[in-house]
């Protein structure tokens, strides 16, 4: 029931709409996706049969209108638990979001293709990082004939200055960056055959892309392609450098990008935020004598590696530019030269541990665990946490940050196949013992955790 009796119009899907979508899946989406991305593994008595569960997905728009909603999702843990090949689709507003004539044409057809690609990709290469897999899932929608992911592209153009390609944040801008990069690879390096080989390649992320490039006889490195891709996103001109600075199938500034460009959003943000220097309308300053020492400016924010930022110089005279980049990529250590790094991969469960003997302490003696941490995690989907195994009671716990950085909920709980039984986030949450980090810390932060309950024990 809706909270406090709140009225919400019920979603309605007609038999004709269902028949149309299932026809699209059987005759178009299934052959298009499996033809490029690979075959499904058989599950259950139905083998390769695909189940589509259509319902009002419990998200922020569950009880009523919200700006964003979850149009669909795929869960490998659900498929394993139910022994079915299944993905979920939301029931909201099918009238305007199916077919070519609605306000959001082909949205659900594209979502069918997107989620189905995840299902196939998981069976072929289950640990591919999200920044690769999500871009390929959007590409599956395009290859199925439902157009470019215009909303994702537009959102990336809006947020490009703080959106790294290779660090997945879960926002629409991340989808846009990933899709544009996979579309670029598709256009420039071998089309569907290249994409098929990339999915089959078991190495992940940058390594997987470079291995596939080498297998197809290309000598370009990932960094070289990234550089050309960032230029293509800005100028989109295939007449230069053998066509590598533009797209063949995408019209920048047209319907494919919701009539926006990178330059449009740079100009818009320069007007909105005084600290965004990307679109410097007059640089050096108009009618100001040129100084030999020049003017110093810095990149906007604190971007992660493989974040593309753009700067416009409107000097009427020739000028030299000196670029002084960081000597090392990545997040600098808080102190010293080294830090522990978890890595970045799908379904990761990475940890390090140490035994502490507190038997010399009396129950009630104050004990704390203090450390610095820096994280950027997809909010409410992925987590980092500190576990304690009390050897005296054989009980497991996660620890709360006394400085308030941990959360106690897991709204989209999924079983990770790499996590031991009984220690999934949903297990901790059910026992009232769930405390974890998610979203972004915004840099290095101080964490303090109470170990007092374990005084007298070994953990």
Residue found by looking up tokens 């063949």 in the block: 248
Q: How confident is the model at residue 263 (pLDDT cuts 50, 70, 90)?
A: confident
Residue 249: predicted pLDDT: 96
Distances (CA, A) of 23 to 16, 49, 116, 304, 418: 10, 15, 15, 43, 36
Q: Between 215 and 44, name the one with better pLDDT.
A: 215
Does this model's pTM top 0.75? Answer: yes
Residues 239-257 have pLDDT tens digits of 999 999 999 999 999 999 9
Q: What is the mean pLDDT of residues 318-340?
A: 78
Q: How confident is the model at residue 70 (pLDDT cuts 50, 70, 90)?
A: confident
Q: Evaluate whether 195 touches 219 at the Cβ level (below 8 Å).
A: no
Q: What is the mean pLDDT of residues 284-307?
A: 60
Window from 80-89, 183-192, 240-249 with minimum mean pLDDT = 80-89
Residues 369-412 have pLDDT tens digits of 999 999 988 899 899 999 999 999 999 999 999 999 999 999 98
332: tokens are 């600098």
Window from 69-83, 153-167, 388-402, 429-443 with minimum mean pLDDT = 69-83
Return d(Cα 417, Cα 349) in angstroms, integer. Answer: 9
pLDDT at residue 280 tops 50 = no
Phi and psi for 160 in degrees, rounded to 5? Answer: -60, -35
Alpha-carbon torsion angle 90, 94, 99, 102, nearest 10:
-120
Q: Between 408 and 312, name the one with better pLDDT.
A: 408
Q: What is the mean pLDDT of residues 10-25?
A: 93
Return d(Cα 459, Cα 451) in angstroms, integer. Answer: 10
Residue 347: predicted pLDDT: 80
Residues 200-223 have pLDDT tens digits of 999 999 999 999 999 999 999 999
78: tokens are 């659900």
Q: What is the mean pLDDT of residues 337-362?
A: 90
Q: Evaluate whether 162 touches 303 at the Cβ level (below 8 Å).
A: yes
pLDDT at residue 93 tops 70 = yes
SS (H, E, C) 298-339: CCCCCCCCCECCCCECCCCCCCCCCCCCCCCCCCCCCCCCCC
Partner residues linked to 51 by β-bridges: 86
Residues 164-185 have pLDDT tens digits of 999 998 899 999 999 999 999 9
pLDDT at residue 354 tops 90 = yes
Residue 147: predicted pLDDT: 96
Percent of the chain with pLDDT over 90: 67
> Which residues 6+ apart lie within 8 Å of 215 measured at CB?
197, 201
Helices and strands (H, E) in the chain, number of each type: 13, 7
Q: Between 6 and 362, name the one with better pLDDT.
A: 362
> Which residues 6+ apart lie within 8 Å of 193 measured at CB?
216
Q: Evaluate whether 21 touches 109 at the Cβ level (below 8 Å).
A: yes
Peptide bond into 284 cis (omega under 30): yes
């Amino acid at each position: 029931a809706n909270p406090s009796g709140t009225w919400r119009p019920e979603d309605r899907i007609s038999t004709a709409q269902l028949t149309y979508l299932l026809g699209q899946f059987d005759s178009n989406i299934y052959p298009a996706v499996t033809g490029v991305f690979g075959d499904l593994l058989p599950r259950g008595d139905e083998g390769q049969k695909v189940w589509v569960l259509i319902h009002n997905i419990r998200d922020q728009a569950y009880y009523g209108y919200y700006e964003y909603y979850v149009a669909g999702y795929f869960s490998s843990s659900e498929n394993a638990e139910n022994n079915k090949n299944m993905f979920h689709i939301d029931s909201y507003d099918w009238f305007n979001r199916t077919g070519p004539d609605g306000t959001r044409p082909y949205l659900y057809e594209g979502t069918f293709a997107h989620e189905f690609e995840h299902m196939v990709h998981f069976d072929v290469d289950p640990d591919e990082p999200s920044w690769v897999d999500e871009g390929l899932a959007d590409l599956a929608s395009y290859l199925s004939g439902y157009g470019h992911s215009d909303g994702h592209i537009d959102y990336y153009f809006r947020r490009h200055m703080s959106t790294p390609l290779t660090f997945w944040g879960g926002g629409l801008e991340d989808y846009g960056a990933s899709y544009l990069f996979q579309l670029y690879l598709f256009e420039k390096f071998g089309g569907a055959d290249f994409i098929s080989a990339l999915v089959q390649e078991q190495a992940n992320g940058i390594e997987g892309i470079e291995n596939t490039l080498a297998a197809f006889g290309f000598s370009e490195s990932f960094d070289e392609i990234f550089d050309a891709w960032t230029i293509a996103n800005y100028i989109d001109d295939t007449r230069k450098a053998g066509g590598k600075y533009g797209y063949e199938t995408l019209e920048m500034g047209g319907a494919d990008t919701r009539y926006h460009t990178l330059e449009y959003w740079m100009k818009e943000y320069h007007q909105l935020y005084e600290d965004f220097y990307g679109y410097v309308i007059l640089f050096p300053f108009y009618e100001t004598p040129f100084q030999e020492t020049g003017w110093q400016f810095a990149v906007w924010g604190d971007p992660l590696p493989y974040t593309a930022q753009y700067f416009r110089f409107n000097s009427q005279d020739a000028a030299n530019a000196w670029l002084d980049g960081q000597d090392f990529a990545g997040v600098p250590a808080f102190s010293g030269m080294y830090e522990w790094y978890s890595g970045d991969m799908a379904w990761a469960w990475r940890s390090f541990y140490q035994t502490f003997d507190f038997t010399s302490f009396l129950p009630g003696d104050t004990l704390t665990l203090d450390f610095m941490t820096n994280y950027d995690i997809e909010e409410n989907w992925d987590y980092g946490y500190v576990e304690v195994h009390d050897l005296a009671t054989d009980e497991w716990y996660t620890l709360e940050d006394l400085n308030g950085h941990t959360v106690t909920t897991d709204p989209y709980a999924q079983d990770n196949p790499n996590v031991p039984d009984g220690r999934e986030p949903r297990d901790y949450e059910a026992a009232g013992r769930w405390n974890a980090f998610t979203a972004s810390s915004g840099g290095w932060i101080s964490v303090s955790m109470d170990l007092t309950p374990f005084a007298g024990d070994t953990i």
